[in-house]
Amino acid sequence: MEFVEGYKSILNPKDTEKAIKLTKDTFEKELSSSLRLTRLTSPIFVEAGSGINDDLNGVEKPVSFSVSALGGRKMEIVQSLAKWKRMALADYGYPKGRGIYTDMNALRPDDTVDAIHSVYVDQWDWEKVIGEDERTLDVLKNTVKEIYAAIKRTSFLLSETYSALDDYLPEDITFIHSEELEREYPSLSPQEREKMAAKEYGAVFIIGIGYPLSGGVPHSLRAPDYDDWSTVTISGYHGLNGDIIVYDRVRDDSLELSSMGIRVNRESLLRQLEMKGLNERKELYWHKRLLSGEYPQTIGGGIGQSRLCMLLLHKCHIGEVQASVWSDETRAEAKERGIYLI
């Protein structure tokens, strides 16, 4: 069932629209100041075959089209901007300690469509230059803390503006590695483990997404050419990346707000391409530039705009905070329950 039994929206549609803008404006400023990020204009599409588009878990197919004015050259609607951002940092010459964020709009037609997934994806894509000596778990964790603090400050402002919206997220975020989570809940699926962790801690950052766990499969899949998920850290675990997961009280379930991590360097890119059997990508434009040393070392990720609005406005369905497409059955059920889908 996509809708929570007995759910009633706290805000009416008009106040919801106002609150969406307040949420986005506030968080964008908080994120920018916390991480020292400058807003950059980003593309809606990139050229196919360049290696710039993000293939996410490695199985999604991007929406593509040809451009008549360019002799029929094929373009792809972005799925995220993980690779484009790093290229932009190099081309704009951003120094260490500074970065960019962008208001990304993407299409992911292969995604599951349900209460928290949509064909339309809007997120703050961000990327920051770091030094090679900063490719550590401490840097990753400190960055996560800054992002979570920005979420908390946004949540506080919303609760001050709309008294019915209480700020129920915990003050601090908890860190746990996916290996530890598997050991704690060996009989559960990764999604079930996430729900258990979210309910226990309220907000958790699960480290190590992409490398096979002791049980033989990864916690979740990751493409081989943006996050570094194969480096062994001083803890003895693989991975310099992870996901921010929170407890969604309205849905009584976990909700992923962000996927992020320290990005691949030359060594980890080659290792991960080999592991995935994708060595041919070394000949793509983007990958050639990284392997030749043209890109800075970075940390970055994406933060779901509609997901954050859904959480902080206490909504049960992502369609209440974004305009997308839904089945006739979903819209009919929403209408019957008095839930307004944009």
DSSP-based three-state secondary structure for 15 = helix
Catalytic residue, candidates 79, 80, 123, 220? 123
Beta bridge partners of 205: 175, 244
| 68 included as an active-site residue | no
C-alpha to C-alpha distance for 147 and 172, rounded to whole angstroms: 11
Catalytic residue, candidates 86, 108, 222, 263? 108
Catalytic residue, candidates 254, 259, 268, 297? 259
* Beta-sheet strands, E only, within the chain: 37-39, 45-47, 64-67, 73-77, 99-107, 120-129, 174-177, 203-207, 241-248, 253-262, 298-304
**Cα-atom radius of gyration of the chain, to the nearest Å?**
20
Contact 63, 76 (CB under 8 A): yes
| 64 included as an active-site residue | no
| 259 included as an active-site residue | yes
Catalytic residue, candidates 256, 306, 307, 322? 256
Catalytic residue, candidates 125, 243, 248, 320? 243
| 200 included as an active-site residue | no
DSSP-based three-state secondary structure for 195 = helix
Q: How far is CA 228 from its chain centroid?
A: 15
C-alpha to C-alpha distance for 207 and 69, rounded to whole angstroms: 45
| 108 included as an active-site residue | yes
Q: Is the dihedral of CA 80, 199, 149, 136 positive or negative?
A: negative
Catalytic residue, candidates 28, 54, 194, 248? 54
| 256 included as an active-site residue | yes
Catalytic amino acids?
54, 108, 123, 243, 256, 259
